[in-house]
Amino acid sequence: MPDLTTNYLGLALKNPLVVSPSPLSESIGNILHMEDAGASAVVLHSLFEEQIVVESNALDEYLTYGTESFAESLSYFPDLTSYKLGPDGYLEHIRRAKQAVNIPVIASLNGVTTGGWIRYAKLMEEAGADALELNIFYLANDPELTGEKVEEMYTSLVSHVKASIRIPVAVKLGPYFSAMASMAKKLDNAGADALVMFNRFYQPDIDLENLEVTPNLHLSTPFELLLRLHWVATLCGQIKADMAVTGGVHTAQDVLKSMMAGAKVAMMTSALLKNGIDHVTTVLRDLTQWMEEHEYESIAQMRGSMCRRSVADPSAFSRANYMKVLGSYIGRTTVQ
């Protein structure tokens, strides 16, 4: 039997398959089911910064800047009081989850300003969370706001939170930085214990009949995995922080690719929403079978074996591959 164990955020995990944030984790019964199905850890659904702000009746100025000019713009913000768990309820949920399961429970904070984050990071630690995932999602819509300033916001937030708690801190971020490798290094230097790549950018749609901007959510597809593999494989060996792949992980093959690229864990949600929580068992069975057939003794043996530093042709992760990919399509075209 292959050894599936891995270490992520200093936590010893029985395998590399972790359940990422989703409404599924709002139920203690579901979290128990995840453990029974074989998940090695669960990242709880996020507590949003806006929920913390609503709780304290002090909405940050950046959220409502300009809304006094257009009354209808107030409707752009969701009714955050309708969220199932406010800040206090979220802390109680952590306590209950920790009492119910033996696998690590990782709390999640979603926002971008320091504000109440430091306070709630401490409270989450006190509630028993084994680690904290900072889900940083910021849209730089101000044309006067430079990329350098945005990066400074991210690193400042990470360093402040790290200084306030003792549990490990993972940073979940998006791929939209002009110098992704540099940004990863800055977060590493700011104290991030892990980088979770990548946050998905949920973009609104336009309802042509009602002339409204509407939410638009699609579950991930395996195709989205490629961007994650590229950056994990590129950064492998260049930063101290652990790396986790999230987005596009649906099968055992996706988990294997993530490990070979250099990740410590692969996170899954969309596949569970599509196929049910028992899909975890299927993935782990297929993972074990593949490793046995290909004579891999452990996850550690394969980790990073296909990263940029390990492959015979590192140009596969560079501009040279861009040219090769475009050139490879010429052979498929025919002149009529």
Q: pLDDT value at position 328?
A: 64
Contacts 24+ apart (CB under 8 A), 315-320: 317/230, 317/233, 317/234
Q: pLDDT value at position 322?
A: 56
Compute the Cα dihedral for 54, 55, 57, 58 and give only its sign. Answer: negative
Instruction: Going residue by residue through the chain, which has 336 residues, state the pLDDT in tens, using 9 for 90 and above.
Output: 999 999 999 999 999 999 999 999 999 999 999 999 999 999 999 998 766 666 554 444 444 444 443 333 333 344 444 445 678 899 999 999 999 999 999 999 987 677 667 888 999 999 999 999 999 877 777 899 998 999 999 999 999 999 999 999 999 999 989 999 999 999 999 999 999 999 877 677 888 888 888 877 778 888 999 999 999 999 999 999 999 999 999 999 999 999 999 999 999 999 999 999 999 999 999 999 999 999 999 999 999 999 988 776 666 666 555 556 556 655 555 544
Question: What is the pTM (predicted TM-score) of this model?
Answer: 0.85
Q: Which residues pair with 265 in a beta bridge?
A: 244
* Residue 259: Cβ within 10 Å count: 28
